[in-house]
Chains A and B, each alone.
Chain A
Amino acid sequence: MINSLALLSLIIGIPLFGMVFALIAKGDENFGGKNSSDVAIFTIITNIFMIWRIFMVIDEENLSLQLFENISWLSVPPVSLVFAVDNISLLMILAVHLIVLMGIIAVRNELQAGLKTLMVYTLLFLSLSTGFFVSANIFSFYIFFAAMLVPLFMLLGIFGELKKAERLNIFLIYNIIGAGLVFTAVLLIYKYYGNINLNNKDIIQWQQNKGMLIYGLLALGIISRIPIWPFHYFISSISARVHNPLVFILISLLPLSSIYALLRFWPTEIPDFISRQFIWVHIIGTVTILFISLISLINRDSQYKIFAFINVYYILYLLGIFIREQLILQSIGYALFGLLIIFGGLEIVSAYIYSQEKIHESYSSGFLCRAKRLSLVYSFLTFAAIGFPISSMFTNNFLILSKISSANIQIGTFLMFSCLIVSASLIKEMFRLKTDDKESSLGKDDDLPLGQFVFMMFVIFVLMMSFIRPLWFVIDE
Chain B
Amino acid sequence: MLQNWFIMLPELLLFLFLPISRLVDTYRANKTSRTFSTLAQIFLLGTILCSVVFYNKNVFPDFWHNTAFTTLLKNIAYFLALLWFYLSSKWFLNKNRPSYKFYLICFFMLLALNFIASATSLIVLGIAIPLVCISYYKLILRHWDFEKVKKVSGLYAVAGIFFCCLLWGGIWIIYKQIGALGYAEISRYYTGANSINIYGYIAVTMIISCIIFLLALAPFHLWYINFISHGVLPVCGFISLVPPLIYMCGLINLVKLCFPAFADFLVPLFNIFGFISLFIGALSANYESDIRRLFSFLSVYAMGFAFASLNDFSDTSIIYLLIFMISFLSSLTGAYTVFLGFKSKSEYLSEFSGISGFSHLRPYMSAALLIFIFSFMGLVPTAGFFAGLPIIDGLIANASWIKIIVLFTGVIFAINACIHIIRNIWFQNPTTKFDRADKAIYICLLFNVIFVFMILLNPDALVGRLIYVVGDIK
Contacts and interface: CB of A to CB of B under 8 A. Distances in A.
A146 B463 contact: no
Given A117-B363, A191-B396, A191-B397, A165 B427 contact: yes
B265 to A, nearest CB: 27
Nearest to B398: A191
Given A158-B426, A184-B404, A169 B459 contact: no
B381 interface: yes
A194 interface: no
Given A73-B460, A143-B385, 4 more contacts: A76-B463, A147-B379, A173-B416, A179-B380
A168 B415 contact: no
B319 interface: yes
19 contacts: A73-B459, A74-B459, A75-B460, A79-B389, A117-B363, A142-B380, A143-B380, A143-B385, A146-B379, A147-B379, A154-B426, A158-B427, A168-B423, A169-B423, A172-B419, A176-B415, A180-B408, A183-B392, A191-B393
A180 B316 CA distance: 24
A143 B412 contact: no
A173 B412 contact: yes
Q: From A23, A128, A146, A183, name the one whose CB has the most chain B CB atoms within 10 angstroms.
A: A183
Contact of A143 (B381, B408, B426): B381
- Interface of B: prevailing SS: helix
A71 to B, nearest CB: 10
A274 to B, nearest CB: 23
Nearest to B413: A173
A389 interface: no
B19 interface: no
A176 B396 CA distance: 19
Interface string A89-102: 00000000000000
B25 to A, nearest CB: 44
By size class, the interface of chain B is 20 to 34
B390 interface: yes
B165 interface: no
Interface in A415-459: none
Interface string B75-89: 000000000000000
Contacts of B412: 173, 176-177
B415 A173 contact: yes
A188 interface: yes
A76 B419 contact: no
Contacts of A188: 396
Interface in A88-131: 117, 128
A150 interface: yes
Interface in B364-403: 367, 370, 374, 379-381, 385-386, 389-390, 392-393, 396-397
Contacts of A191: 393, 396-397
B468 to A, nearest CB: 12
By size class, the interface of chain A is 20 to 34
Nearest to B466: A76
B433 to A, nearest CB: 16
B352 to A, nearest CB: 13
Contacts of B374: 150
Interface in A159-192: 165, 168-169, 172-173, 176-177, 179-180, 183-184, 187-188, 190-191
Interface string B293-319: 000000000000000000000001001
Contacts of A149: 379
B422 interface: yes
A66 B454 CA distance: 30
Contact of B422 (A142, A157, A176): A157
Contacts of A230: none
Contacts of A146: 379-380
A177 B422 CA distance: 19
Contact of B423 (A150, A165, A184): A165
A383 to B, nearest CB: 39
A74 B423 contact: no
B396 A150 contact: no
Contacts of B192: none
Contacts of A150: 374, 379-381
Contacts of B459: 73-74
Given A158-B427, A184-B404, A169 B381 contact: no
A74 B426 contact: no
A77 interface: yes
B397 A75 contact: no
Interface in A358-399: none
B334 to A, nearest CB: 17
A77 B379 contact: no
A147 B463 CA distance: 23
A188 B399 CA distance: 10
Contacts of B385: 143
A188 B460 CA distance: 23
User: Can you list the 3 inter-chain pairs with the closest CB atoms, starting with the nearest?
Assistant: A146-B380, A157-B427, A147-B380
B379 A74 contact: no
Interface in A270-326: none
A381 to B, nearest CB: 33
Contacts of B380: 142-144, 146-147, 150, 179
A222 B386 CA distance: 22
Contact of A187 (B386, B392, B426): B392
Contacts of A176: 379, 412, 415
Nearest to B323: A76
Interface in A183-241: 183-184, 187-188, 190-191
B426 A169 contact: no
Contacts of B379: 146-147, 149-150, 176
B404 A77 contact: no
Contact of A77 (B390, B422, B423, B427): B390
B467 interface: yes
Given A191-B396, A191-B397, A75 B463 contact: yes
B302 to A, nearest CB: 17
A354 B437 CA distance: 41
Nearest to A128: B381
Contacts of B464: 75
A169 B393 CA distance: 27
Q: From B374, B393, B426, B463, name the one whose CB has the most chain A CB atoms within 10 angstroms.
A: B393
Given A147-B380, A150-B379, A176-B379, A74 B408 contact: no
A269 to B, nearest CB: 25
Interface string B420-434: 001100110000000
B184 to A, nearest CB: 29
A179 B381 CA distance: 13
A187 B408 contact: no
Nearest to A73: B459
Contacts of B419: 168-169, 172-173
B385 to A, nearest CB: 8
Nearest to A23: B367
A76 B467 contact: yes
Contacts of A74: 386, 389, 459-460, 463
Contacts of A75: 460, 463-464
Interface in B438-474: 459-460, 463-464, 467
B429 to A, nearest CB: 11
Contacts of B415: 172-173, 176
Contacts of A144: 380
A214 to B, nearest CB: 11
A158 B416 CA distance: 17
Nearest to B408: A180
